Structure 1
Amino acid sequence: MRDKKISLMIFCAIAIALNIVLGIVTSSLKLPLYLDTIGTIFVAVYFGPWYGATVGALTNILTGIIFNPKDIPFLLVNVAVGLIVGFVSKKFKWSLVSSVITGLVLSVVCPLIGTPIGIWMYGGLTGTGSDFLFLWLQKVGNTIFVSSFIPKILNNLLDKIGSCVLVWLLITSLPKQFTRDKLFNSNM
């Protein structure tokens, strides 16, 4: 039992590190993607919603401590990703179809949660090329919420669907000895 817990902790630590590294890379390159939830999605599919939510929360807490405290409130987005993906993958087999549909749901839910936080922390700007769309939407008379929300939806469509499909591809390509049941030989 102790070995299983240690294995799970190591697995979650790797997922957190993956989230942080991919988030840093996309941010440094000023890409209109986040990719900072791939580890959260993987853990949520493999171990369930609560583990996914924990990985999501710890990702943002650690990023906030190490790099920028303003990242901490966005843990609400990452927790929502873990919960939604975890519950979907528990109820339905994680397939290409379920990963795309879940990505679509996340493409709306994440901006609904993240937009108010982004407005509060950064005035709605993201530091990426999508800021041009934000500024244009404001200039033509939209509210700050709408101006910030629309670019985030567009970013999240690619990011969340892509992340969910990448995790599906990863899981389906893993050798049989790396299935959750084989790795941990019991229900978590």
Structure 2
Amino acid sequence: MKNNKAYIIAFCGVCIAMNIVLGIITSALGIPLYLDTLGTVLTAALIGPLPGVIVGSLSNIITGFMYSVSDIPFFLVNAAVGLIVGLAAKKWKFTLPTALILGLVLSVVCPVIGTPIGILVYGGLNGSWSDVLVVALQQTGHSIFAASFIRNIGSNLIDKVGTCVIGWAILKALPMRFKDNFVHQKVAQ
């Protein structure tokens, strides 16, 4: 049943909903593990980079229309997650070491993309307790970019490594008969 479009569309829809719901829940709880790219990681690792980019982008665009249009530009961050994870999973198996390395890579790439967006949209502050760090770093002479980037690296390190490891565990736990419905999966058995 490889390449079953109905399975692919349904899985992508579930992953978009997962990104949105997990982002809302973790934001409400105020924990540093946002998990708002978990659906993107699952899609990209199981189906490929283009579906990963689409799921990531739509997640942020839908959330932006639901809550704040100013959040829409952050779709670029989620799209980058889909592209990077999808390309890596296409080349190598999505094993625990691969997930850890991808989490580390994403913890730098995502702030590189997201920090300028955050500065343009929100002035570099995100309304969380971590704004104290940004303000403190600015008072010691750091630019708003440097202060915001340092904060973002810290939170993304926890989030992206955690998200990739959780994604790997979920994909590993899925039965092979389920994974057989998808085009491209080099998920460790």
TM-score scaled to structure 1, two decimals? 0.93
Question: Following the alignment from structure 2 to structure 1, what is the Cα–Cα distance between the partners of residues 147 and 93?
Answer: 36
Question: Following the alignment from structure 1 to structure 2, what is the Cα–Cα distance between the partners of residues 158 and 75?
Answer: 20
Question: Following the alignment from structure 1 to structure 2, what is the Cα–Cα distance between the partners of residues 138 and 27?
Answer: 25
* Structure 1 residues 167 and 187: CA distance shift in structure 2, 3 A: closer
Q: Which residue of 2 aligns with 1:44?
A: 44
In structure 1, the gaps of 5 or more residues are: none
Aligned-partner SS, 2:124: coil
Deviation at 1:58, TM superposition (A): 0.4
List 4+ stretches of structure 1 deviating above 6 A: none
Q: Which residue of 1 aligns with 2:11?
A: 11
Counterpart code for 2:11: F
Residues 1:21 and 2:25 are matched in the alignment: no
1:153-172 matched pairs, under 5 angstroms: 153-172=153-172
Question: Following the alignment from structure 2 to structure 1, what is the Cα–Cα distance between the partners of residues 184 and 163?
Answer: 25
1:1-188 matched pairs, under 5 angstroms: 4-179=4-179, 181=180, 183-184=181-182
Counterpart code for 2:47: F
Question: Following the alignment from structure 1 to structure 2, what is the Cα–Cα distance between the partners of residues 114 and 157?
Answer: 14
Check conservation: 2:33, 2:162, Cα contact below 8 A. no
Question: Following the alignment from structure 1 to structure 2, what is the Cα–Cα distance between the partners of residues 77 and 128?
Answer: 19
In structure 2, the gaps of 5 or more residues are: none
Counterpart code for 1:84: I
The alignment of Structure 1 onto Structure 2 pairs a total of residues equal to 184
Check conservation: 1:57, 1:75, Cα contact below 8 A. yes
Check conservation: 2:135, 2:147, Cα contact below 8 A. yes
Aligned sequence identity (%): 54
Question: Following the alignment from structure 1 to structure 2, what is the Cα–Cα distance between the partners of residues 22 and 135?
Answer: 28
Question: Following the alignment from structure 2 to structure 1, what is the Cα–Cα distance between the partners of residues 143 and 82?
Answer: 30
* Structure 1 residues 67 and 13: CA distance shift in structure 2, 3 A: same
Question: Following the alignment from structure 2 to structure 1, what is the Cα–Cα distance between the partners of residues 46 and 29?
Answer: 30
Moved more, 6-15 or 82-91: 6-15
Deviation at 1:175, TM superposition (A): 2.1
- Residues 18-62 of structure 1 deviation map (CA, whole Å, 9 limit, x = unaligned): 000011112222233321000000000000000000000100110
* Structure 1 residues 121 and 162: CA distance shift in structure 2, 3 A: same
Question: Following the alignment from structure 1 to structure 2, what is the Cα–Cα distance between the partners of residues 43 and 76?
Answer: 16
Deviation at 1:187, TM superposition (A): 6.0
Check conservation: 1:16, 1:59, Cα contact below 8 A. yes
Higher relative contact order (CA 8 A, sep 6+): 2
TM-score scaled to structure 2, two decimals? 0.92
Check conservation: 2:134, 2:151, Cα contact below 8 A. yes
- Residues 116-157 of structure 1 deviation map (CA, whole Å, 9 limit, x = unaligned): 000111111122221111111011110000000001000000
